[in-house]
Chains A and B, each alone.
Chain A
């Protein structure tokens, strides 16, 4: 009986350890939102081809290779001669991460919205439809990991486009 009580006690000790696992020597390791200005959201347009900055997802159809530049837009490249690809254009779509094509239509997320572009001329895509708020941007609500504390997102500060790990001295209110 006595040993089983010890066992129960030890279980509680270990369980308690779990609860303080965010605690490090210098404070709480938490996640903090990275905000962007919501008014930038609809700043969409076609630019001349340019080097990629933050390489994102890839998609191919016919001779056309698309690559997302994380949170900024989509690069269009003709790869009909794969030894000498020709960059065609850059489509600026703030807070985009996903791309997909059917026929001559490109689907891109623009934060919470879905945009449809006609890309029959890949050097000059044109916006044909915006579907607002069809899905929450996957970074927006909480950090990419569970069992962590995080600074609660404040909509007044803008839209949340990313999360960074930081150390703080106070225990934050939000946890998941």
Chain B
């Protein structure tokens, strides 16, 4: 029966990450040399003096207090088909094709499993995403083989971080990475384009517009006033000084 469920829900992949607004990311600077920002589909995550890396099944913890000479501290078996990792506050969210594993990094050298998954019936095969105050946005993607299931942008109340409650959805086509600046959320809806949402009402995203300067969009990094997009041709930069109206700056091929 499990196999049947798996088949029905098959092939739903994960984009998984919390992106920070620039204020939140200041935490990254606490450990001496600053780290940068990756997209929401990363398998490496740096938090202060530690780097966390996920392969298909394991979480590896490296000390990088001496950045030139990382030390592998430990490898922890997490599960199967791990896709992404993102740190949020003192938690690591590790996304797989089936569930999301939550680890505490209160002791950053020893991640401790808090829960097997965010309720698989709610956050299913999801892609948490952006955390903004007490709200998380996730893209839940289904591929053609899954038939009948709609890909969505989902909004969760994460007041209790281990028990997210889905509060709103928006139908999209084939969503991947996402990020936000203030009250605007950017979602890569692969072939459709870069979706720009008003999230001033956090649980009811309103589509403002869709940008399509490339054949596909996979991930974004909002970086101060610049939105960096991973696209079919390489990278595209938008000016998001006016966050509701991205303006094309350049294309890097």
Contact = CB atoms under 8 A, between A and B. Distances in A.
B252 A100 contact: no
Contacts of A118: 68
In this complex, the member of A58, A83, A100, A136 whose beta carbon has the largest number of chain B beta carbons within 10 angstroms is A58
B138 interface: no
Nearest to B4: A18
Contacts of A42: none
B165 interface: no
Contacts of B45: 100
A155 interface: no
B234 A55 contact: yes
Interface residues of B, number: 56
B69 interface: yes
Contacts of A87: 252
Contacts of B70: 107, 114, 116, 129, 131
Contacts of A25: none
Interface in A6-62: 14-15, 18, 21, 51-52, 55-62
A146 interface: yes
A35 to B, nearest CB: 19
Interface size for chain A: under 10, 10 to 19, 20 to 34, or 35 or more residues? 35 or more
Interface string B220-237: 010100101011111101
A141 interface: yes
8 tightest A-B contacts by CB? A103-B33, A61-B36, A100-B44, A105-B67, A52-B234, A135-B55, A102-B35, A82-B249
Interface of B: 3-4, 6-7, 10-11, 31-39, 41-46, 51, 53, 55-56, 58, 60, 62, 64, 67-70, 72, 75, 80-81, 97, 218-219, 221, 223, 226, 228, 230-235, 237, 239, 249-250, 252-253
Given A98-B42, A100-B42, A102-B34, 6 more contacts: A59-B38, A77-B235, A79-B226, A85-B250, A105-B64, A128-B68
